[in-house]
Amino acid sequence: MEYLYVPEPQALGSMAARWVAREILKLPTAVLGLPTGSTPIEMYKVLVRMVQEGLVSFAQATTFNLDEYVGLNADHPQSYATFMREHFWSRVDLPKESVHIPRGSAPDIVAECLCYDEKLEEAGGIDIQILGLGINGHIGFNEPSHNLQTRTHVVDLTPETIEANARFFPDIDSVPRQAITMGIGSIMQSNKILLLVSGEQKKEILYKTLFGPVSTEVPASILQLHSELTVLTDILHYI
Ligand code: GLP
């Protein structure tokens, strides 16, 4: 594991963007796994700027988003598809057909999960996975549980997650109760993982993630078993 400390949140975004840019320059056809949430916003902003300046291109890349809320269609203001369109997809040179996100409003959600995994498999899996960290240790929407699922599946969101994500919705009752998420197996099979963690409120969960026991109750702790994990954070832990 590589632990990269940055003294402020702003720098975290630019460091993350440069890390991703280096990977894309090395492998322009990379399959990227992408997160949403507030933590990666600055990274996307800097990547957009780098594309506009001609420093990097996503023209040959493919992307798979980690997750989507069940019941929200791609045009819903709070869907992750809208988030991605606004922050990244519409601003870079990624071909439309190379962009993937689960369809939260698919009529058959189980079939949608299978179809997502098929596309992932056709693409050869994820080369570079970028992750945020939920306050309860979730990655994607793989919530704490007595077992973890390896492939794309539907998940019931925990009360902590519903509360944490209510800030993006008009009120807590509007937060969907379920989501589709890429499974832990697909995440762990990525060649490289970049974990982005920002804010003192995540100090304890980051500690448990990196130094606690590997446990399904802290899904992110499984990342300790990945051989190419880079943690980029503005939280100082002495290691
Ligand atoms: C959501 C997403 C996660 C993300 C997490 C943290 O629940 N499903 O993929 O990592 O939020 O978000 P934030 O960066 O806003 O703290």
Q: What is the pLDDT of residue 239?
A: 57
> What would the pLDDT profile of 176-206 be if each residue is shown by its tens digit?
999 999 999 999 999 999 999 999 999 999 9
Q: What is the pLDDT of residue 9?
A: 85
Q: Mention every residue, 6+ apart, whose C-beta is less than 8 A from residue 45.
A: 13, 17, 87
Separation between Cα atoms, residue 99 and residue 90, nearest integer Å: 11
Give the distance (Å) from ligand 1 centre to CA of residue 88: 16
Ligand 1 near 137 CB (within 6 A)? no
Phi-psi region of 84 (alpha: psi -120 to 50; beta: other; left: phi over 0): alpha
> What would the pLDDT profile of 88-105 be if each residue is shown by its tens digit?
999 999 999 999 999 999
Given CA atoms 163, 203, 214, 187 in this order, what sign does their dihedral have?
Answer: positive
Ligand 1 atom nearest 181 alpha carbon: 8
Ligand 1 near 66 CB (within 6 A)? yes
Q: What is the pLDDT of residue 238?
A: 65
What would the DSSP string read from start to end of 61-114? -EEEESEEETT--TTSTTSHHHHHHHHTGGGS---GGGEE---TT-SSHHHHHH
For the segment 19-26, the average pLDDT, to the nearest whole number, is: 98
> What would the pLDDT profile of 63-90 be if each residue is shown by its tens digit?
999 999 999 999 999 999 999 999 999 9
Give the distance (Å) from ligand 1 centre to CA of residue 232: 15
> What would the pLDDT profile of 161-178 be if each residue is shown by its tens digit?
999 999 999 999 999 999
Instruction: Name the catalytic one among 65, 136, 142, 165.
Output: 136
Identify the DSSP state of 148.
-
Query: Which tokens is 69 given?
Result: 């809320």
Instruction: Name the catalytic one among 67, 68, 127, 234.
Output: 67
Minimum CA distance residue for ligand 1 atom 5: 134
Q: What is the pLDDT of residue 10?
A: 86
Mean pLDDT of the chain: 97
- Specify which residues 218 forms β-bridges with: 215
Question: Considering the entire predicted model, what is its pTM?
Answer: 0.97
Separation between Cα atoms, residue 33 and residue 62, nearest integer Å: 9
CB 45 within 8 Å of CB 141: no
Give the distance (Å) from ligand 1 centre to CA of residue 78: 13
